[in-house]
Amino acid sequence: KQEVTQIPAALSVPEGENLVLNCSFTDSAIYNLQWFRQDPGKGLTSLLLIQSSQREQTSGRLNASLDKSSGRSTLYIAASQPGDSATYLCTGGAGSYQLTFGKGTKLSVIP
């Protein structure tokens, strides 16, 4: 069964800093990798979806990469802002209905 690990579990950075969040998965036979953001008490908001044929996706200050061979994905956030403070979750879709989520990285951006 797919296992997803997110490192670090928590991260605190000053405003304006660039940062990288990591996601590792054990089953490299994934069809896509999706990054979500979750604010306290809220649902999950999709940030980026990388299909298996792609290596990266960009949206504004966010860039996500996917390396299936090494079982890793990274989410790069440029010029971080206090509004970026949230928990970030990743999951890999492998054609199964049983998605596995990491426990997330809790990001705090200090003004």
Partner 1 sequence: DGGITQSPKYLFRKEGQNVTLSCEQNLNHDAMYWYRQDPGQGLRLIYYSQIVNDFQKGDIAEGYSVSREKKESFPLTVTSAQKNPTAFYLCASSVEPGHYGYTFGSGTRLTVV
Q: Count the residues in the chain.
A: 111
Q: Does 53 bind partner 1 (CB under 8 A)?
A: no
Binding mask 60-89 for partner 1 (x = CB under 8 A): -----------------------------x
Minimum distance from residue 29 beta carbon to partner 1 (Å): 10
3-state secondary structure of 69: coil
3-state secondary structure of 50: strand
Of 8, 10, 42, 81, the residue at the interface with partner 1 (CB under 8 A) is 42
Of 11, 19, 44, 62, the residue at the interface with partner 1 (CB under 8 A) is 44
Pairing mode, if any, of strands 4-7 and 19-25? antiparallel
Taking Cα atoms as reference points, which of 19, 47, 43 lies closest to residue 33?
47
The answer for 71, left when phi > 0, alpha when psi is -120 to 50, beta otherwise, is left
Of 14, 53, 97, 111, the residue at the interface with partner 1 (CB under 8 A) is 97
Where on the chain is the footprint of partner 1 (CB under 8 A)?
A: 4, 30-32, 34, 36, 41-46, 49, 51, 89, 91, 93-104
